[in-house]
Amino acid sequence: MIKRNILTMIFLATAAIFSISAWTYSETSFDIEGRIAMVAQAGRFNPYIELKGQYHSLENQLRYTSLSAGSYFSIVPWLKIGAFYRMQMGARDLEDWQFEAGPPDRHWWLDTRGQIEHLFYFDATPRFHLSWLPGRNWVFPTKIRYYYNVSNRHHSLLIRPGLTYVFMTDREPLLNLSFNYNLYFALNTGDIPLYSHGPYLSVIGHVYDWLKLEGKASYRYATYFKEDGGSWTLNSSQITVGLGVIFTPDFSLLRKK
């Protein structure tokens, strides 16, 4: 009898604690992204430069912008590695999500517009041509990308397996249709290693050898978790549609001429 009472008390106490201090919020943002990039060909190198901007409907503001530069290098035909630098502005991190225990509780994002961060990231992307599949033109890539944010010393990892089909006409690529799944891991921050994930679709049209047009859509689900005498969780959903213009000049030809 005593044992049963103790268990009941523990259960009630636990329930009371969780009902007081475990808070979960959610938000959904619809974002529009634009980017202009150059991915050149120079022998086994692919020099890369990209300018990106995002409009966030939730706050009705153009918040995130970034400039990235670096190069891929083809070690073997099925594997490229890359090293890049990125300067970004307006990115949000776990520290930027604020809360204030109430009642009433309040939570908000710090205004990160104008907040500049510097990152280095390194990429290894194996790609396998699945020519044995019907249609022949299937590629299975897995992008593995490690980020080091110099500004806040965050380490993170992106793993993105995918499947791409390339529509060809008379041996020339016409359209790439890709389905990928993003998995973001926080390596030294937060309590949730896989803090964000979601599908990513892209369509790339090969307009000319030197010009591609890109359309993409992604859904990214992120969990922000904080514990400070209680636990607070923000489930953030981000739906992004984007357009891109990608220049793909072949510098190897200039050298030969």
Partner 1 sequence: MNRSSFLLLVFILYTAPAIAAESHISYLEGTVIITRGQSVLTGDFGMTLIEGDKISTGTDSLAILEVEGRGTLKMRSETILILDEIEEVISVSLTSGGLFSKIKRLLGVGYEVKTPGVVAGVRGTEFFVAFGQTIEDTPDLWLCVNEGTVHVALKNTTDSVLVNEGEGITIPAGNRLTDPRFYSWTEDLNWNTDPDMGELVDQTDLDGAYADLRSFDYD
CA-CA distance, 238 to 233, in Å (whole number)?
Answer: 16
Interaction between residue 171 and partner 1 (CB under 8 A): yes
Residue with Cβ nearer partner 1 (96 or 214): 214
Stretch that binds partner 1, among 5-13, 16-24, 164-172, 224-232 (CB under 8 A): 164-172
Beta bridge mates, 160 = 143
How is 57-115 classified by DSSP, letter by letter?
TTTTEEEEEEEEEEEEEEEETTEEEEEEEEEEES---GGGEEEE--SSPEEEE---TT-
Binding letters toward partner 1, positions 180-219, x by CB under 8 A? ------------------------x-------x-x-----
With CB under 8 A as the contact rule, the residue among 92, 107, 129, 197 that binds partner 1 is 129
Phi, psi torsion values for 87, nearest 5 degrees: -110, 125
With CB under 8 A as the contact rule, the residue among 54, 66, 71, 176 that binds partner 1 is 176
Say if CB 51 and CB 67 are below 8 A apart.
Answer: yes
With CB under 8 A as the contact rule, the residue among 73, 248, 249, 251 that binds partner 1 is 248
CA-CA distance, 1 to 254, in Å (whole number)?
Answer: 89
Say if CB 203 and CB 214 are below 8 A apart.
Answer: yes
Instruction: Name 98's Cβ contacts closer than 8 Å, sequence gap at least 6.
Output: 107, 108, 109, 110
Residue with Cβ nearer partner 1 (37 or 62): 37
CB of 164 to partner 1, least distance (A): 7
Interaction between residue 46 and partner 1 (CB under 8 A): yes
85, 118, 224 from 67: Cα distances, Å = 8, 10, 26
Interaction between residue 128 and partner 1 (CB under 8 A): yes
Q: Identify the burial level of 73 via C-beta atoms within 10 angstroms of its C-beta, where 0-12 means exposed, 13-18 middle and 19 or more buried.
A: middle
Interaction between residue 3 and partner 1 (CB under 8 A): no
How many residues lie near partner 1 (CB under 8 A)?
35
Q: Which residues bind partner 1 (CB under 8 A)?
A: 37, 39, 46, 50, 72, 74, 77-78, 80, 125, 127-129, 136-137, 139, 141, 164, 166, 168, 170-173, 176, 204, 212, 214, 244, 246, 248, 250, 252-253, 256
